[in-house]
């Protein structure tokens, strides 16, 4: 069976890690071109050493290469601003699909174990954010048992794992993740917070998820959460519960005010996660970057398998 040829735009940490994952682990994808804008980037140098075509002239350089004709899938690991420019060009070629790893959110949000089936025919899918990929499966796991009124996530990542692209996109991170908590996770209202932890040695990614839902069987919620963790572990083995799920009752007489929703009461669920990276190109503590590249690879594999 022939593999789907891919290009990666963005030769930084995320793009380079994704390239190595595709080369090592992909069953249905074949690396073709690495695209950057810095001719001295390590990602371009590595791709060239491994025999792949490269360009440091961005999307404009990519479409001039002879390999462009055969490429069916493009991963965009640049920035939200750059993706808007890239997509204007790519959408002119109807045989190409894009998996967007930036918070640009041009295409619909995609979390592989939650809503892959709804996005198969779309040409541009958005992988939300690292925090979204880690936490939205948990909001969805609660929501499939008990209607979630409010979902709040706090993503804590090592400062060293937050490069220029991540730092430039912090506003987009919080907005995009909050929208996806609602649209994919199923919450009526979502909120996202990111913390850059400067601790030395660097700490692995930690995520805390709070949901306020209707009352439901706690055993059923816990079971749903554990099943979702196992689903994510299929492509991110380092994704684990940091401790057992916690529950608290919010009685009607102590209802909390949620902006846009008013007063709500019910069941508060607290989920604490740890995400350790695979250590392919990035250090293991950079689970925030690893979960993005792993989710993008999982999405690309499923899209290619359906061709």
- The residues annotated with a catalytic role in the active site are 130
Q: Name the residue with tokens 């979702």.
A: 228
For 130, half-sphere exposure in the C-beta direction (CA atoms, 13 angstrom radius) is 36
Q: Is 218 exposed, middle or buried (0-12, 13-18, 19+ CB in 10 A)?
A: middle
Chain-centroid distance of CA 143 in Å reads 20
């Amino acid at each position: 069976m022939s593999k789907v040829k891919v290009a990666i735009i963005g030769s930084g940490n995320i793009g380079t890690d994704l390239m190595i994952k595709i080369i090592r682990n992909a069953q249905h994808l074949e690396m073709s071109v690495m695209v950057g804008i810095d001719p001295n980037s390590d990602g371009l140098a590595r791709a060239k050493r491994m025999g792949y075509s490269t360009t440091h002239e961005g999307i404009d350089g990519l479409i001039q290469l002879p390999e462009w004709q055969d490429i069916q899938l493009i991963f965009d690991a640049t920035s939200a601003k750059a993706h808007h420019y890239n997509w204007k060009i790519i959408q002119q070629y109807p045989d190409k699909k894009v998996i967007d790893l930036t918070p640009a959110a041009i295409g619909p949000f995609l979390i592989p174990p939650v809503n892959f089936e709804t996005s198969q025919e779309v040409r541009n899918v958005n992988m939300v954010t690292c925090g979204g990929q880690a936490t939205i499966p948990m909001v969805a796991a609660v929501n499939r048992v008990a209607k979630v009124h409010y979902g709040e996530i706090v993503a804590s990542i090592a400062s060293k794992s937050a490069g220029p692209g991540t730092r430039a996109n912090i506003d987009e991170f919080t907005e995009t993740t909050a929208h996806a908590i609602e649209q994919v996770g199923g919450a009526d209202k979502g909120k996202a917070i990111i913390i850059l932890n400067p601790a030395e040695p660097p700490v692995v990614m930690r995520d805390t998820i709070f949901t306020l839902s209707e009352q439901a069987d706690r055993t059923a919620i816990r079971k749903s959460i554990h099943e979702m963790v196992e689903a994510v572990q299929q492509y991110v083995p380092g994704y684990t519960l940091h401790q057992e799920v916690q529950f608290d009752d919010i009685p009607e007489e102590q209802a909390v005010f949620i902006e846009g929703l008013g007063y709500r009461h019910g069941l508060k669920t607290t989920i604490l996660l740890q995400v350790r990276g695979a250590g392919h190109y990035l250090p293991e503590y950079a689970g925030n970057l690893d979960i993005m590249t792993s989710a993008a690879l999982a999405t690309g594999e499923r899209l290619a398998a359906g061709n």
